[in-house]
Amino acid sequence: MKVLAFNGSPRGKRGNTDRILQPFMEGARAAGAETETICLKDLKIKPCLGCFTCWTKTPGVCVQKDDMPILLEEIRHADITVYATPLYIFTVSGLMKNFMDRYIPLLNPHIIKRREHYTHPRRYEDMPRSRVVLISNCGFPERHHFSGLVETFHRFTDDPDSELVATILCSMGELLRRPELQDFLGWYYEAARKAGSEVVELGHITPETQAILDKELMSLDVFLSVANAYWESQIAAPEREKGAVEPGQPLQPPTALSTTLRGAISGMPLVFDIQAAGNLQAVIQFDVSGEEPGQYYLRINEGKCSAFEGKHPGPTLTIHTPSEVWMAISRGELDGAQAMMQGSYTIDGDLNLLIRLKDLFPGVPAASGADKQIQKEK
């Protein structure tokens, strides 16, 4: 059995669509299928001219000279065709639409009634019944964004020679290609893999697997915080640093193991790992509530980390946290990533930077680390 997939994302293999498609194809292979993935962005596919020459003067052959004849030949012999596309303005991407429009040389122009609908019969009788899988992801959290896309594919396969056998739709899809979330999303990729095997073995996705694939990737609250923090971190980040005046008061490092949040933050520069920081330039703001409320920030610049009390006007990352939560994290009693997913604290700004904190500040801030750090900085 041949499973042929078309990836319609302009990001190709670096995109979110591919993060669902590849485990699906792995599952199909594990079930014994031969698989092939074609990234449409890598091919020359011109738009349909609407001339219908492929139906009249040169039946089955388009006037456009590009890579499309090879793809039509591949489609003719595939048992299962996977259309994998990001959602663009409630439907397929432009790449995918161009490609789908160019499908018409495979049809015969005559209009006939089959079942209760009128349709164009296929040009080639030896084509296997086309079993179609739709895979898509979208940026918004609401699944209703897919309604037009799904309707398109129902119509696209609405004849006795075709069938839409499976649909995988993932909202919040921009999370899929985030390196720091790959472990967290393992359950979703596993379900996509299972779906690939099931489509090959059973001809459909089981309700159990479908139920997993239909789940939200994370809670709406956490998603909104992660997504907006990401965009905030991407918008003109270098601008923030221009002409910056140090607005806070320098914090002195603690002389003994600290039991206060202020002490814990002022001790963070002592365990700062210069190698892990590389050429990082960032400001990490702590907006602290709870038992020990306060505003503190860490400035990382030119291989150095300094702590300040006060509010920075353009932090790279802001951590809004009760003091008790951050103390528990810095003492190693609470896992930082898990605590955020559970909503124990929230962030604005660069999520990647939050994920890097463990590497940037290995160990608990303590006076005992001071000598080591001072030597490193010499």
Ligand X SMILES: Cc1cc2nc3c(=O)[nH]c(=O)nc-3n(C[C@H](O)[C@H](O)[C@H](O)COP(=O)(O)O)c2cc1C
CB-based contacts of 105, cutoff 8 Å, min separation 6:
54, 55, 60, 61, 62, 72, 123
Positive or negative CA dihedral for 271, 274, 275, 280?
positive
Smallest distance, ligand X to C-beta of residue 149, A: 9
> Which pairs from 126-130 meet CB under 8 Å and 24+ separation?
126/76, 127/76, 127/77, 127/161, 128/77, 128/78, 128/79, 129/161, 129/162, 129/163, 130/75, 130/78, 130/81, 130/157, 130/161, 130/162, 130/163
> Which CB, 86 or 105, lies closer to ligand X?
86
Q: Which residues bind ligand X (CB under 6 A)?
A: 9, 11, 15-17, 86-90, 137-140, 145, 173-174
> Which CB, 55 or 140, lies closer to ligand X?
140
Strands 282-289 and 249-250 come out as unpaired
> Which CB, 87 or 164, lies closer to ligand X?
87
Smallest distance, ligand X to C-beta of residue 137, A: 5
Smallest distance, ligand X to C-beta of residue 150, A: 13
Of residues 108, 130, 131, the one with CA closest to residue 120: 108
CB-based contacts of 142, cutoff 8 Å, min separation 6:
171
CA–CA separation, 130 vs 156, rounded Å? Answer: 11
Smallest distance, ligand X to C-beta of residue 138, A: 3
Smallest distance, ligand X to C-beta of residue 144, A: 10
Smallest distance, ligand X to C-beta of residue 147, A: 11
Query: Length of the chain, please?
Result: 378
> Which CB, 14 or 114, lies closer to ligand X?
14
> Which CB, 93 or 285, lies closer to ligand X?
93
CA dist list (Å): 364 to 161, 240, 270, 324, 337: 65, 30, 10, 15, 16
> Which CB, 233 or 330, lies closer to ligand X?
233
Smallest distance, ligand X to C-beta of residue 351, A: 16
Smallest distance, ligand X to C-beta of residue 169, A: 10
> Which CB, 173 or 253, lies closer to ligand X?
173
> Which CB, 214 or 324, lies closer to ligand X?
214
CA–CA separation, 104 vs 90, rounded Å? Answer: 23
Residues forming a β-bridge with 131: 80, 163
Q: Which two tokens stand for residue 368?
A: 């005992």
